[in-house]
Structure 1
Amino acid sequence: MRFVLFSVGLWLITQVTLLAQTGNRQSPIHQHAFVCNYTGQAGTQSLCNYMMYTASNGHAEKVVDRILKPIGLVRNFKIIECPNTRNCFATVVSGQRFIIYDGAFMQRIEDMTETDWSAISIMAHEIGHHLQGHTIDGKGGQPMKEIEADRFSGFVLHQLGASLDEALIAIKTLGAEEATTTHPAKQARIDAIRKGWTEAEEIYPQQDSNRIARNTAQRPANPLAMTNPDAPAKETTTPAKAVGKTKIGCLSGDCQDGYGIFVNPTLEKYQGDFANGSKHGEGVQFYPDGKMKYKGTFSDDVRSGNGLYFYRNGDKYVGQFQDNLPHGKGTYYFSDGDRFVGTFIKGKREGFGILYNTDGTQESGNYENDELVEEN
């Protein structure tokens, strides 16, 4: 079943003055109002003749609630349909947040992309604008707001089960090739969505996690480590600043090029160095409950270099990273006190290594693709 009765957009329309009236009633949309418009064209039919259509669509609300559920937030805006607007957009009218859509327009988008994910990603983009305060800051549309909303969209679609290609299909199909004063070019938006999706994959991988396995041929696996990967990490630290449940985005500092604190949609926090809007340099990541996740170096938004990673089941790894995975020399500490010292390639043990047991014994040998192939 297609999700056709909802909307939103990928571009911001700034400094829009809607002067049309319904009877003698002036539209409350004013100059510099935030109107995120899908096509980048200003025709919004005076906010649907100033809310002639006020009934929200039940199916659209269910889709919005589905998007919000993975991040633990509730809907605090209204959803209405405005036929013949040939657009979809987010805005604020007299203090009330709205997402407004033309159902026929959204149907055409789904027909073009041949998937429901295109419309869902657009809706997630608009929700991102509302949740990050873009619609109420009084500054109108800005390219960075679009990037933030795109990143949010990529993150949420991962949480809903979309592949990276499915998360990108709307912008790849309909994005503008050239940048304007209000919205970036298609490639910049693709990069932002990919970044959000990848960040979610790092936190909640759709594939198997990168925790290393035990030498199962020698003894049983640790039940906690192997069956409960989402258990809270045992190593903790206190975040620099508590984050409210609805506070996401750049909390403080410079999250573009400098030192800042950024909270993603699942309330995981990063504080550290940024370059070109990506984690780059020294930094610390925290789980939503404030416990430390990783402390070390980053390169272009991924763990790279030396660092310390705390897994949710109580395991931890200290050593070298590449592309978010243990890569190079390192030590893996199991939650029961055992530890493995050796070399890792793309998250797997490779070459000579030693497993030190808590009872004082040790097992050494050569590993291939994370398997012990030769004991010494």
Structure 2
Amino acid sequence: MKTALSLSLILVSTALAGLVSAQTRPETFICSYTGHTAGPEVVCSPTAASNGHAEKVVDRILKPIGLMRNFKVIECSNTDNCFATVLKGQRFIVYDAAFMQTIEEETETDWSAISIMAHEIGHHLQGHTIDGRGGQPQKEIEADKFSGFVLHQLGASLEESLVAVKALGDERATPTHPAKPARIDAIRKGWLEAEAMYPKTRTASKPAVAIAPKPITTTNTPIAASRPVVAPATKTPVRATVGCISGDCEDGKGVFVYPTRERYVGEFEEGDKHGEGVEYYADGTLKYKGNFRDNLRSDYGVYYYRNGDKYVGWFQKNVPNGKGTYYFADGDRIVGTFSNGQPTRNAALYNADGTKQSED
């Protein structure tokens, strides 16, 4: 057994050192998280102590989805990466301990390393490593979506699930890996799909990420009622004036510009946004159109995100509460009932072509 494992380690080391040429052989799959190739100084360790921690992380990832491990976990130094590969019929997760520690330190959270490991596990569980077609952008998208789903199940917030890809993703697409924005979107979809099926009550240290009105990819800082953010009504430059620039901003209809350079145009009551109104971003693009109560988005409205997403439905205290639809920029959508900004169990995720995504 020891001899067989040592041989496998030699094969892995050789394959990683020659990543590009190995990918041209249909029987060999090697996919790295960043898409970068390994250098010639790859050294794999056969000792159990070297991968004990990584195996615990793997088991932690697999437990909430009820799947058994179908691969070996080994440590290979000088790869500066984490890989999924299959050689001689054996599946491997190959990781560089120093690389994983460095990314944890740089991002100041262990969720980064966990999400990387979940991504590579996704390649194995979805059969990417055995189809004989090598690395492909679509495989990376599917593995990223799997990572987002799993991290939700482990208790990570959406922002925590995105930490690794934001730090390591390439701004430009390659023959094997999509560009960073596409990968971020895939992780987000996986996380939101899990949230739609298994909504959870989170602790104060890990607040739920409301689908609106704050953008999906921002931090989880609650929006304060005393800090309404709005913007100019047109694409013309905003004047330096801050405050009520026209009309009656106490009890009537008026236009109010905030220090953020965003603008509100609509009805006021006792100095608060109250009634029908429209918010604009600082560059003049539409942000929200609908109803307000006591300075907060309430009742029916439409919220437009910077990334092209849109929420249409009912609000309460600034967040979706009631029936609504969240439209992704690519055409996918979540339809159902929302509670405190989160889709409830009856919410369903639909593809751009109108087909419903399975919960299996």
TM-score by length of 1: 0.48
Q: What residue number does 1:67 align with?
A: 61
Shift of 1:42: 1.8
Shift of 1:44: 5.3
SS at match of 2:131: coil
- In structure 2, give the amino acid aligned to 1:35: I
Distance 1:45 1:72, change over 3 A: farther
1:106 equivalent among 86, 100, 105: 100
Q: What residue number does 2:333 align with?
A: 302
Task: Tell me, yes or no, if the aligned pair for 2:24 and 2:134 is still in contact at 8 Å.
Answer: no
Shift of 1:112: 1.1
- In structure 2, give the amino acid aligned to 1:135: T
Distance 1:142 1:62, change over 3 A: same
Give the Cα–Cα distance (whole angstroms) in 2 for the partners of residues 80 and 160 of structure 1.
23
Q: What residue number does 1:39 align with?
A: 34
Shift of 1:303: 3.9
Matched, 1:53 2:57: no
Task: Tell me, yes or no, if the aligned pair for 1:13 and 1:36 is still in contact at 8 Å.
Answer: no
Give the Cα–Cα distance (whole angstroms) in 1 for the partners of residues 174 and 181 of structure 2.
13
What are the equivalent positions in structure 2 for 1:353-364 lying under 5 Å apart? none
Give the Cα–Cα distance (whole angstroms) in 1 for the partners of residues 64 and 181 of structure 2.
27
Matched, 1:204 2:205: no
Give the Cα–Cα distance (whole angstroms) in 2 for the partners of residues 187 and 74 of structure 1.
31
Q: What residue number does 1:16 align with?
A: 20
Task: Tell me, yes or no, if the aligned pair for 1:13 and 1:141 is still in contact at 8 Å.
Answer: no
Shift of 1:88: 1.8
Task: Tell me, yes or no, if the aligned pair for 2:55 and 2:73 is still in contact at 8 Å.
Answer: yes
Give the Cα–Cα distance (whole angstroms) in 2 for the partners of residues 130 and 104 of structure 1.
23
What are the equivalent positions in structure 2 for 1:299-338 lying under 5 Å apart? 300=328, 301-304=332-335
Shift of 1:195: 0.2
What are the equivalent positions in structure 2 for 1:236-247 lying under 5 Å apart? none
Give the Cα–Cα distance (whole angstroms) in 1 for the partners of residues 118 and 345 of structure 2.
33
Q: What residue number does 1:190 align with?
A: 184
Higher strand share: 1
CA RMSD of aligned residues (A): 3.5
Task: Tell me, yes or no, if the aligned pair for 1:87 and 1:102 is still in contact at 8 Å.
Answer: yes
Distance 1:299 1:40, change over 3 A: closer
Higher helix share: 2
Give the Cα–Cα distance (whole angstroms) in 1 for the partners of residues 159 and 104 of structure 2.
15
Give the Cα–Cα distance (whole angstroms) in 2 for the partners of residues 122 and 59 of structure 1.
15
Matched, 1:171 2:165: yes
Paired-residue identity, %: 67
How many residues are paired up?
204
Shift of 1:323: 8.8
Shift of 1:326: 11
Give the Cα–Cα distance (whole angstroms) in 2 for the partners of residues 54 and 34 of structure 1.
24
Task: Tell me, yes or no, if the aligned pair for 2:84 and 2:124 is still in contact at 8 Å.
Answer: yes
Task: Tell me, yes or no, if the aligned pair for 1:13 and 1:34 is still in contact at 8 Å.
Answer: no
What are the equivalent positions in structure 2 for 1:266-285 lying under 5 Å apart? none
Shift of 1:16: 2.6
1:146 equivalent among 103, 115, 140: 140
Distance 1:30 1:98, change over 3 A: farther
Distance 1:14 1:126, change over 3 A: farther
Task: Tell me, yes or no, if the aligned pair for 2:196 and 2:345 is still in contact at 8 Å.
Answer: no
Distance 1:81 1:14, change over 3 A: closer
Which deviations, in whole Å up to 9, do the C-alpha atoms of 1:19-62 show, x marking residues without a partner? xxxxxxxxxx862422111332222548x46x563646222111
Distance 1:115 1:326, change over 3 A: closer
Q: What residue number does 1:160 align with?
A: 154
Give the Cα–Cα distance (whole angstroms) in 2 for the partners of residues 72 and 323 of structure 1.
25
Give the Cα–Cα distance (whole angstroms) in 1 for the partners of residues 91 and 145 of structure 2.
21
Moved more, 58-67 or 163-172: 58-67
Structure 1: tracts of 5 or more residues without a match: 1-11, 19-28, 210-296, 310-321, 328-376
Give the Cα–Cα distance (whole angstroms) in 2 for the partners of residues 38 and 302 of structure 1.
28
